Amino acid sequence: MVTSSRSESPAEDPKAIAREIATLVAGFRADHDVTAVGVAAAGWIDLERTEVMFAPNLAWRDEPLRDLVAEQVGLPTVIENDANAAAWAEYRFGAGQGARALLMATVGTGIGGGLVLGGEVFRGGFGVGAEIGHIRMVPQGRPCACGRFGCWEAYGSGTGLTVRARELASADPGSAGVLLALAEDDPEKITGPMVSAAAEGGDPVALQSFAELADWIGEGLASLTAIIDPDVIVVGGGVSESAALDLDRVVAAFENAESGFGHRPAPRIARAVLGNDAGLIGAADLARQG
């Protein structure tokens, strides 16, 4: 990466997000010859890649993001779902190079998904393919940010990790000493980073929460494999970077849940190598291609 800059997203104000993007681009143009802009957006993008139709964790609803940004920056602009962009980056430059059918799961606040099939990003019939975080895992289960119940990301994401850690700490505070110390002895104040830090400190509740998270991830990937038949699965996103997430346990849960395991070729399951920059790298490469 040539250079980078970071800014808080005004999550409740879609127009302000576009303005913030334009401000960042202006900063880059001061020192670099910028010819196009790529935006990795955490939402459902239409097939023409002009509009964010819906975003579970942001205020985008039918937002013409491409045109809003393009008008402000005066440059060709491409918008892409953030997980699609990350999948493309890992396919082009990271853990998925050479894959025939790449499935990527980005485990963060929610679960994003991206597919690269035959060297092309798969977007589906309407642009919102591979929204894997919203497959139903538990009928009438936990509420999800999308407004439904029992979605995979309600269990197998950073949000699910935090919810489960709070439940376990409330039920057995004696096993959550490190975690509760970080949370001022209030289970409701537990956050994902606290669970990660406590797990690295050997906290039993934090370790159990991560173990269950790995099981949920593996089980979901096995269900998707029955449909997609990927030869490579890449697990990325902020939560995946925690040392407490045991990829071997993810693989074991996958093998336990996959239909016909042992009688069919198994995909290679790898941790992403481009980290949180994957979406940026993928969006930039897609913008370069036009």
Domain 95-272 in the same topology as domain 14-84+279-289: yes
Give the model confidence (pLDDT) of 49-100 as tens digits: 999 999 877 788 999 999 999 999 999 999 999 999 999 999 999 999 999 9
Higher pLDDT, 121 or 15: 121
Q: Answer whether residue 1 shows pLDDT above 70.
A: no
Specify whether the backbone of 202 is left (phi greater than 0), alpha (psi in -120 to 50) or beta: left
**Rounded-to-integer distance, Cα 112 and Cα 198, Å:** 25
Please state, in angstroms and as integers, the Cα–Cα distance from residue 225 to each residue in 251, 260, 268, following that order.
Answer: 13, 11, 11
pLDDT tens column, 236-280: 999 999 999 999 999 999 999 999 988 999 999 999 999 889 999
Question: What pLDDT is attached to residue 59?
Answer: 82
Show me where the domains of the chain are located: 14-84+279-289, 95-272
Least trusted range by pLDDT, from 16-30, 158-172, 226-240:
16-30
The pLDDT of residue 145 is 87
Task: Summarize pLDDT for 173-232 with one digit per residue, the tens.
Answer: 999 999 999 999 999 999 999 999 999 999 999 999 999 999 999 999 999 999 999 999
Rounded to the nearest 10 degrees, the angle between the axes of helix 158-171 and helix 204-228 is 140
Q: Would you say residue 170 has pLDDT above 90?
A: yes
CATH class, 14-84+279-289 region: alpha beta
Model confidence, pTM: 0.90
Residue 211 phi, psi (nearest 5): -65, -45
State the amino acid at position 102 in one-letter form: L
* CATH architecture assignment, domain 95-272: 2-Layer Sandwich (3.30)
How far is residue 58's CA from residue 9's CA, in Å, rounded to a whole number? 9
